[in-house]
């Protein structure tokens, strides 16, 4: 394929083409889904190949994506991409201008400790069948249980007319178990490791999550939740655990700081942002404890890459520093329009999709509050909440409301009971400014998703967030 | 494609040790996305895929093949044979879909061939001429899709379908104060599209968006819900209609068959063959798409029952395409009267990021978008900042006090990985005591 990609790039050195890039992806995906102990779906989607050709002609983008490759289809795709760009230019007010970048030539091949695609299929089926059997028949009150395991790997070639040529191979594993309980009137659920369940790596991800111990834990919790009280107060201090905090960052900082939203490019679907260009360098997004980085250099996160999908070399960029908004996630075009650092954030999930500004590793840096245990000890009254159940945020990423599966009541630094479906809401700036403590490096861990939706046609992009649990003061928790 | 189909038929007919279900499809889209009254990008995407499931003695294995060839299919089937014997059984599986009814096509064009990029751009330029006058900019998508598929299986299914819908969705956003309004067209082709009407509708909405923007207090409000917003509420409500959701213990309608759940005036159905709907010939299994009444005069009547869940739950299958063709029956009042008879209330144009808090209870939270208006003394008085609501959808319909005497086609595009365009036929409704839980303080 390297030769084919090179050949296409060579054919795109045309006078009318200002810039062009070509991507090829070959993806393998394997998934297991057990419901009430039965294997309902075992699916393998191998050699899912895709090719994308993007050209800048007359200051406008054109694109063609395909999954059937032969000389004829590639010829047509090249013509189609150029023709699309010419038509884009007919209805264009501001031409796209790209700064020239130095070429990058490198390769990254991830080697997981246990490559799930090299393991015996029988061993995998046996292993997950045992897990499914274990969570089945736990109790009559468990009305539904499931085991969902996804493995994926993607080989990608990226090349452009500036001379960049990079290939990568990356692995992601996403396991989740769910228990649903009912007492006839109410239905509660507990999941493990939660909705943010994607991690960089292979089968070792499953080993490290220690499902055996955690099954018993969530089983006890999902039964107790049926009789647990709901939060009664209007406001409370909240400590948010890592799995849900990843989503809080994702929705209220991650999406809000995607530069394409500032220019209205996502208004028609995903929405806009309350962030304005003039806020960069001044806006007090959070308390001085809050530091957020976009880090595509960290190989432990799903969002690592040597270059993004328009040839920008990986880097670590500050988005929020000591509470002040200092940067954004950008494309080349957006960074140069705004006069800020490029963040290497342009990605497409498969090569036959158009690249967009996407979250990569959007991380909250650890603080000085020590372990989660210590932070709870230092909290007089409040709730520790975790594991997302429901999420919603407005199209400016300003007003959010989240519900978690479970909360733990804190009184005088001790956990004194659980609460069901804790729900809180807030305004992004007020909420992040109420953050007064973040746990330390000992609690700092990645949680991610295989499927963050954005764009039209829609793309589900894998990404991750590294966080330590954090405390927020005086949060609104009454939605009635 | 033909050569591959012949081989698939051979496999189904000759390899009797296994049961097979093949779904072969290809689609192409021309997708024009625009922002700030100019093109963002033009995309052409083309995909071909074969999904197959192999079964032996209730053991199931499935696989997807991108850009399938005869060689690849045989290779993957041999791989599947090596796997299937050690898989645990799915005790609920009996066999594949066996409905043999064939959909009869009327005239359908290939929208990609019918609507050139020049034609799309000319339409958008005409729309822009008008929005420029009001200092609004347009954002949205203009999609043409051509999709062809084949169902083939060991239960004797052998069907082909094609669809080629079109969808144009335009948001007009004020450059002055960011107030937005939305208008959309969806159909099997452009034959029902009138550029003049489309522009007139958009212009009418824009003219109402020039009012002062205010914030309102959280609380209970009478609300008039637009067809666009109603389609989304119905789409979430419809989750509870599905056999799969019933089986998981999460359906609001569990134990409510033939019971009164909503007022007499509310009837909800799935009607893929109704006038104005985008054609949906078959459900996902290949069963011919049939009309299904879910709620008839307030009484719950049916679940969406596909082949698998009909066997598992011992209920009759009905070929319903559910949410892909949802319809609420029209009522007897006009939108003008609904507004005129509202002392103090809200008009909700569109929704954003609605999600279940508890599906079994139909409780959701979400936000308003693209024009929320305050109505006072029978008149639209102000634009209101986007609002958050926290409500049970069943309560919204239970509290209906008016249903418009007219239906609108609302298209909806699902384009994550696979690609389809479906539609709803819905009126405006008026509901009382709608819970606004907070304001976003922004437009």
The 10s digit of each residue's pLDDT in B344-381 is 999 999 999 999 999 999 999 999 999 999 999 999 99
Indicate which of A456, A459, A461, A478 best probes the interface with B, i.e. most B CBs within 10 Å of its own CB: A456
**Residue A188's closest chain B neighbor by CA?**
B358
Establish if A229 touches chain B: CB-CB under 8 angstroms.
no
The pTM of the whole model exceeds 0.80: yes
Contacts of A460 in chain B (CB under 8 A): 416-417
Of A67, A265, A403, the CB nearest to B35: A265
Q: Over 70: is that where the pLDDT of A216 sits?
A: yes
Predicted local confidence at residue A70, as pLDDT: 86
Residue listed under structure tokens 């909806």: B412
Contact B29 A457 (CB under 8 A): yes
Mean pLDDT over A179-202 rounds to 95
Contacts of B81 in chain A (CB under 8 A): none
Q: Which residues, numbered 371 to 410 in chain A, qualify as contacts with chain B under a Cβ-Cβ cut-off of 8 Å? A: 389-396, 398-399, 401, 403
Please state, for a pLDDT cut of 90, what percent of chain A lies above it. 93
3-state secondary structure at position B35: strand
Would you tell me how many other CB atoms lie within 10 Å of the CB of residue B215? 12
Of B45, B413, B439, the CB nearest to A352: B45
Length of chain A: 480
Instruction: Answer for the pair A271, A256: CB distance below 8 angstroms, yes or no.
Output: no
Does 3.30.2290.10 match the CATH number of domain A2-225? yes
Establish if B369 touches chain A: CB-CB under 8 angstroms.
yes
Of A264, A354, A390, the CB nearest to B35: A264
Contacts of A395 in chain B (CB under 8 A): 352-353, 367, 369, 386
Exposure string for B392-417, b = 16+ CB within 10 A, e = fewer: bbbebbbbbbbbbeebbbbbbbebee
Which residues is B383 bridged to in the sheet? B213, B373
Contact B46 A353 (CB under 8 A): no
Spatial distance between the Cα atoms of B56 and B20, rounded to a whole number of angstroms: 9
Of B39, B173, B413, the CB nearest to A92: B39
Contact A91 B86 (CB under 8 A): no
Q: Over 70: is that where the pLDDT of B148 sits?
A: yes
Contact B171 A267 (CB under 8 A): yes
Establish if B249 touches chain A: CB-CB under 8 angstroms.
yes
Indicate which of B28, B44, B64, B411 best probes the interface with A, i.e. most A CBs within 10 Å of its own CB: B44
List helix spans (H) across A152-210: 204-208
Contact A453 B416 (CB under 8 A): yes
Mean pLDDT over A293-321 rounds to 98
Would you tell me how many other CB atoms lie within 10 Å of the CB of residue A208? 11
Q: Over 80: is that where the pLDDT of A424 sits?
A: yes
Contact A180 B248 (CB under 8 A): yes
Establish if A458 touches chain B: CB-CB under 8 angstroms.
yes
Contact B36 A263 (CB under 8 A): yes
Predicted local confidence at residue A69, as pLDDT: 84
**Residue A459's closest chain B neighbor by CA?**
B416
Mean pLDDT over B7-34 rounds to 94
Mean pLDDT over A58-84 rounds to 93
- How do the domains of chain B map onto residue ranges? 2-209, 211-439
Of A84, A421, A453, the CB nearest to B43: A84
- Contacts of B131-135 with CB under 8 Å at 24 or more apart are B131/B37, B131/B172, B131/B202, B131/B206, B132/B37, B134/B172, B134/B174, B134/B203, B134/B206, B134/B207, B134/B210, B135/B174, B135/B175, B135/B176
Averaged confidence pLDDT in chain B: 94
Instruction: State the smallest CA–CA distance between residue A122 and chain B in angstroms.
Output: 7
Establish if B308 touches chain A: CB-CB under 8 angstroms.
no
Task: Calculate the alpha carbon distances from A120 to A40, A43, B86, B87 in Å.
Answer: 20, 15, 12, 13
Mean pLDDT over B95-100 rounds to 95
- How do the domains of chain A map onto residue ranges? 2-225, 235-476
Indicate which of A1, A44, A48, A480 best probes the interface with B, i.e. most B CBs within 10 Å of its own CB: A44
Contact B83 A121 (CB under 8 A): yes
pLDDT band, residue A243 (cuts 50/70/90): very high
Instruction: State the smallest CA–CA distance between residue B236 and chain A in angstroms.
Output: 14
Spatial distance between the Cα atoms of B268 and B304, rounded to a whole number of angstroms: 13
Establish if A44 touches chain B: CB-CB under 8 angstroms.
yes
Contacts of A403 in chain B (CB under 8 A): 357, 365
Helix-helix angle B2-14:B70-84, to 10 degrees: 30
Mean pLDDT over A437-456 rounds to 96
Instruction: Answer for the pair A279, A338: CB distance below 8 angstroms, yes or no.
Output: no
Predicted local confidence at residue A311, as pLDDT: 97
Establish if B183 touches chain A: CB-CB under 8 angstroms.
no
Q: Over 80: is that where the pLDDT of B106 sits?
A: no
Predicted local confidence at residue B48, as pLDDT: 92
Indicate which of B35, B43, B348, B442 best probes the interface with A, i.e. most A CBs within 10 Å of its own CB: B43
pLDDT in tens, B273-282: 888 899 889 9
Establish if A72 touches chain B: CB-CB under 8 angstroms.
no
Mean pLDDT over A298-321 rounds to 97
CATH architecture, range B2-209:
2-Layer Sandwich (3.30)
Spatial distance between the Cα atoms of A332 and A336, rounded to a whole number of angstroms: 6
Contact A394 B171 (CB under 8 A): no
Mean pLDDT over A266-274 rounds to 91
Indicate which of A64, A84, A94, A356 best probes the interface with B, i.e. most B CBs within 10 Å of its own CB: A84
Instruction: Answer for the pair A63, B44: CB distance below 8 angstroms, yes or no.
Output: yes
Mean pLDDT over B75-79 rounds to 95
Predicted local confidence at residue A480, as pLDDT: 66
Please state, for a pLDDT cut of 70, what percent of chain A lies above it. 100
Q: Which residues, numbered 54 to 113 in chain B, qualify as contacts with chain A under a Cβ-Cβ cut-off of 8 Å? A: 60-67, 76, 79, 83, 86-92
Contact A271 B352 (CB under 8 A): yes
Contacts of A458 in chain B (CB under 8 A): 414-417
Of B45, B67, B357, the CB nearest to A403: B357
Contact B140 A268 (CB under 8 A): yes
Q: Over 80: is that where the pLDDT of A478 sits?
A: no
Instruction: State the smallest CA–CA distance between residue B256 and chain A in angstroms.
Output: 14
Contact A38 B92 (CB under 8 A): yes
**Residue B65's closest chain A neighbor by CA?**
A45
Total CB pairs under 8 A between chain A and B:
247
Which residues is B440 bridged to in the sheet? none
Establish if B371 touches chain A: CB-CB under 8 angstroms.
no
Establish if B1 touches chain A: CB-CB under 8 angstroms.
no
Spatial distance between the Cα atoms of B307 and B317, rounded to a whole number of angstroms: 6
Instruction: Answer for the pair B211, B382: CB distance below 8 angstroms, yes or no.
Output: yes
Mean pLDDT over A287-307 rounds to 98
């Amino acid at each position: 394929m390297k030769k084919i990609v090179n050949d296409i790039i060579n054919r795109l050195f045309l006078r009318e083409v200002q810039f062009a890039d070509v991507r090829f992806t070959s993806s393998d995906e394997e998934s297991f889904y057990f419901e009430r102990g039965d294997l309902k779906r075992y699916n393998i989607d191998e050699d899912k190949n895709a090719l994308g050709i993007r050209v800048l002609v007359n200051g406008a983008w054109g694109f063609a994506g395909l999954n059937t490759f032969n000389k004829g289809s590639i010829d047509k795709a090249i013509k189609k991409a150029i023709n699309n760009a010419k038509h884009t230019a007919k209805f264009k007010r501001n031409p796209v201008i790209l700064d020239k970048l130095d070429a990058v030539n490198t390769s990254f091949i991830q080697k997981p400790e246990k490559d799930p695609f090299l393991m015996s299929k029988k061993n995998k089926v046996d292993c997950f069948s045992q897990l499914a059997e274990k969570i089945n028949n736990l109790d009559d009150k468990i009305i539904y249980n499931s085991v969902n395991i996804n493995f994926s790997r993607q080989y990608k070639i990226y090349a452009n007319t500036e001379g960049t040529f990079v290939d990568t191979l990356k692995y992601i594993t996403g396991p989740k178990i769910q228990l649903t309980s009912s007492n006839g009137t109410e239905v509660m659920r507990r999941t493990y490791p939660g909705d943010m369940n994607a991690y960089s790596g292979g089968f070792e991800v499953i080993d490290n999550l220690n499902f055996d111990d955690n099954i018993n834990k969530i089983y006890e919790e999902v039964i107790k939740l049926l009789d647990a009280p709901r939060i009664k107060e209007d406001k409370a201090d909240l400590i948010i655990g890592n799995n849900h905090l990843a989503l809080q960052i994702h929705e209220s900082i991650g999406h809000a700081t995607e530069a394409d939203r500032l220019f209205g490019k996502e208004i028609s679907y995903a929405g806009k942002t309350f962030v304005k260009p003039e806020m960069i360098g001044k806006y007090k997004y959070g308390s001085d404890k809050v530091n957020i980085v976009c880090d595509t250099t960290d190989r432990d996160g799903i969002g690592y890459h040597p270059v993004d999908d328009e040839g920008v070399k990986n880097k670590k960029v500050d988005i929020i520093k000591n509470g002040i908004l200092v940067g954004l996630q950008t494309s080349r075009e957006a960074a140069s329009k705004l006069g800020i650092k490029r963040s290497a954030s342009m990605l497409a999930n498969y090569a036959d999709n158009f690249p967009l500004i996407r979250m990569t590793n959007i991380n909250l840096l650890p603080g000085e509050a020590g372990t989660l245990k210590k932070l709870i000890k230092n909290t007089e009254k409040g709730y520790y909440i975790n594991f997302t159940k429901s999420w919603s945020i407005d199209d400016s990423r300003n007003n959010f409301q989240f519900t978690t599966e479970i909360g733990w009541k804190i009184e005088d630094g001790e956990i004194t009971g659980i609460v069901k479906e804790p729900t809180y809401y807030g305004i992004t700036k007020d909420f992040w400014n109420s953050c007064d403590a973040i746990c330390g490096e000992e609690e700092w861990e990645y949680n991610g998703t295989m499927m963050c939706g954005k764009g039209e046609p829609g793309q589900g992009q894998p990404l991750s967030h590294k966080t330590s649990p954090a405390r927020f003061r005086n949060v609104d928790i009454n939605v009635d | 494609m033909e050569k591959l189909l012949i081989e698939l038929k051979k496999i189904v007919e000759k390899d009797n040790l296994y049961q097979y279900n093949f779904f072969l499809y290809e689609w192409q889209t021309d997708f024009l996305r625009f922002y700030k009254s100019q093109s963002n990008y033009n995309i052409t995407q083309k995909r071909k895929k074969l999904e197959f499931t192999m079964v032996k003695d209730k053991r199931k294995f499935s696989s997807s093949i991108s850009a399938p060839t005869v060689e690849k299919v045989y290779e993957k089937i041999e791989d599947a044979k090596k796997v299937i014997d050690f898989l645990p059984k799915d005790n609920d599986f009996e066999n594949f879909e066996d409905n043999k009814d064939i959909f009869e096509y009327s005239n359908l064009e290939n929208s990609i061939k019918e609507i050139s990029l020049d034609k799309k751009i000319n339409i958008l330029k005409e729309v822009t001429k008008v929005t420029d006058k009001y200092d609004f900019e347009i954002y949205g998508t203009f999609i043409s899709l051509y999709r062809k598929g084949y169902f083939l299986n060991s239960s004797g299914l052998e069907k082909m379908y094609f669809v080629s819908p079109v969808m144009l969705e335009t948001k007009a956003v004020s450059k002055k104060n960011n107030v937005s309004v939305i208008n959309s067209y969806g159909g099997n082709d452009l034959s029902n599209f009138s550029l003049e009407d489309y522009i007139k509708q958009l212009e009418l909405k824009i003219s109402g968006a020039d009012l002062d923007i205010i914030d309102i207090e959280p609380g209970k409000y009478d609300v008039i819900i637009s067809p666009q917003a109603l389609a989304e509420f119905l789409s979430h409500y419809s989750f509870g209609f599905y056999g799969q959701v019933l089986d998981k213990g999460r359906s609001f309608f569990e134990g409510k068959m033939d019971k009164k759940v909503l007022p007499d005036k509310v009837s909800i159905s799935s009607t893929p063959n109704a006038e104005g709907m985008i054609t949906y010939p078959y459900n996902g299994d290949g069963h011919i798409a049939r009309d299904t009444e879910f709620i008839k005069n307030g009484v719950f009547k049916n679940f969406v029952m596909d082949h698998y869940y009909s066997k598992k739950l011992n209920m009759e299958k009905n070929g319903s395409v559910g949410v892909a063709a949802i319809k609420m029956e029209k009522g007897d009042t006009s939108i003008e009267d609904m507004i005129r008879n509202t002392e103090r209330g809200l008009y909700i144009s569109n929704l954003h990021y609605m999600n279940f808090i508890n599906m079994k209870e139909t409780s959701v939270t979400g936000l308003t978008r693209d024009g929320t208006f305050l109505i006072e003394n029978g008149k639209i008085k102000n634009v209101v900042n986007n609002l958050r609501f926290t409500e049970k959808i069943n309560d919204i319909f239970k509290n209906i006090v008016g249903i418009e005497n007219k239906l609108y086609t609302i298209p909806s595009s699902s384009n994550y990985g696979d690609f389809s365009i479906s539609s709803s036929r819905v009126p405006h409704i008026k509901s009382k005591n709608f819970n606004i839980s907070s304001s976003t303080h922004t437009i």
